[in-house]
Amino acid sequence: MKHYIDFHEDVGIEELNYLLDIAADMKAKVKTGIEHHYLKGKTLAMIFTKSSTRTRVSFEVGMYQLGGHALYLSNDAIQIGRGETIHDTAKVLSGMVDGIMIRTFSHQDVVDLAKYGSIPVINGLTDDQHPTQMLADLLTIKEVKGDLKGLKLAYIGDGNNVANSLLQACAKAGMDIAVASPKDYTCPQKYVDQALEDAAVTGSKVLMTTDPYEAAKDADVLYADTWTSMGQEEEKAKRVEIFKDYQINKDLFSVADKDAIFLHCLPAYRGYEVTEDIIDGPRSYVFQEAENRLHAHKAILVNCYLNS
C-alpha cells in the first residue's frame, strides 16, 4: 500500500524527483489544455476536521482534472465527529472509495486510518506535519531557481508542523535548511534527527538556532508561517510578544542572498510574521506556491493510486 503520511518515511530521495517531474508535467498539460485523466473513475474521500482553502480546492480540482471525483466530508457531517472510531471509519470508507485525504489535528488519526483501512491515505495536515505542502514548496523553488540541491532555505518562526516537514523535505532534496525559533518553540528533536539522517546522504546541512539573522544569512529562500496555528487562538497575544523579533522584513532580507525569494504556506498575517512590502513585493512567490498545491497534490494522488 502506498500512503503519503510522513515525508521522511514515505518519500524516497529518488522518488522525490519523480514526484516533482510528474507535478511539472501535469502543470504543463493544464497550461496547454491537454487532458490527463490518469485516475478516471477513481474516488477520493476528503475528511476535514480543520478548516481549509488551498487543501480542499487543490484536491477537489485535482481529482476532477485527473478524471476522478472527490467527496468533501466535514467533521460535523460524518459520524467521526460524533464519536465513531477511526477503525470503523477506515473500514467503511475502504469499501466505498479508492483513497482518503484527511486534514486533522491528531497525527495518530492519520496513521490509524492507514493501519485499519485498505486504501491509500494522504496526510493533508496534522498538528505534527504538513507533507503535501512540501511538494508544492519544492516545485516552486525548482521553477524559480532551476534546481534544489545546494540551495539554502531559512525558516523563521514557530517550530510547528510546517517547520517539521520542511526539515524533512529540504534534507531529502539536498537543500541546506536553517530554522530560527525562540528557545521554547523549536522543532521536536525527532524531526531534526530525521533531517540529519537524510542530510548525511544528500550532503545538505541542518542548522537550528534562536537567531533569525544567523538562519537567514546567505539564504536563497526565506520562509514564514503564522505564529498562531489552528487550535492556539487563545495564545495569540502571548505569541505575538514572543515572536515579535522573528518577522521576515527588509532588514532580514538584507543578510540573505541578493536573489533570495519569499515563501509562505498561507494564510498569511501581514504585519506579524511578514511585512506587507515583502509578501506583496517582487521577491514573493506565495501565489505561485499556492497554485502549485494543485499540481503537487495531483502528483501525490497519481503516485498513491497507481502504486496501490
The catalytically annotated residue of 239, 293, 295, 297 is 293
SS3 83: coil
- Scanning the chain, the segments in alpha helix (DSSP H) are 7-10, 13-31, 54-65, 86-94, 107-116, 131-145, 161-173, 189-202, 212-216, 236-242, 250-253, 276-279, 286-306
Q: What DSSP element (H or E) covers 209?
A: strand 206-209
The catalytically annotated residue of 170, 187, 265, 304 is 265
Contact 250, 274 (CB under 8 A): no
Q: pLDDT value at position 1? A: 65
Cα-only R_g, the chain:
19
DSSP letter assigned to residue 116: H
Q: pLDDT value at position 297? A: 98
CATH assignment of 133-289?
A: 3.40.50.1370
Residue 130 designated active-site: yes
Who's near 184: CB < 8 A, 6+ residues apart? none
Rounded CA gap, 269 and 274, in Å? Answer: 7
Domain ranges across the chain: 7-130+293-306, 133-289
Q: Which CATH superfamily is domain 7-130+293-306 in?
A: Aspartate/ornithine carbamoyltransferase (3.40.50.1370)
Residue 283 designated active-site: no
Residue 304 designated active-site: no
Q: pLDDT value at position 103? A: 97
The catalytically annotated residue of 8, 130, 239, 264 is 130
Contact 180, 209 (CB under 8 A): yes
SS3 167: helix
Q: pLDDT value at position 279? A: 98
Same fold, 7-130+293-306 and 133-289: yes
Provide the whole-model pTM: 0.96
Along the chain (308 residues), what's the average pLDDT of each consecutive run of 10 residues? Answer: 94 96 98 97 96 96 98 89 88 97 96 97 97 98 98 98 98 98 97 98 98 98 93 89 97 98 97 98 98 98 94
Task: Give the relative orientation of helices 286-306 and 131-145 as an angle to the nearest 10 degrees.
Answer: 120
Residue 82 designated active-site: no
Residue 133 designated active-site: yes
Who's near 54: CB < 8 A, 6+ residues apart? 266, 290, 293
Residue 225 designated active-site: yes
**All cell numbers assigned to 34:** 491537454
Rounded CA gap, 86 and 113, in Å? Answer: 6
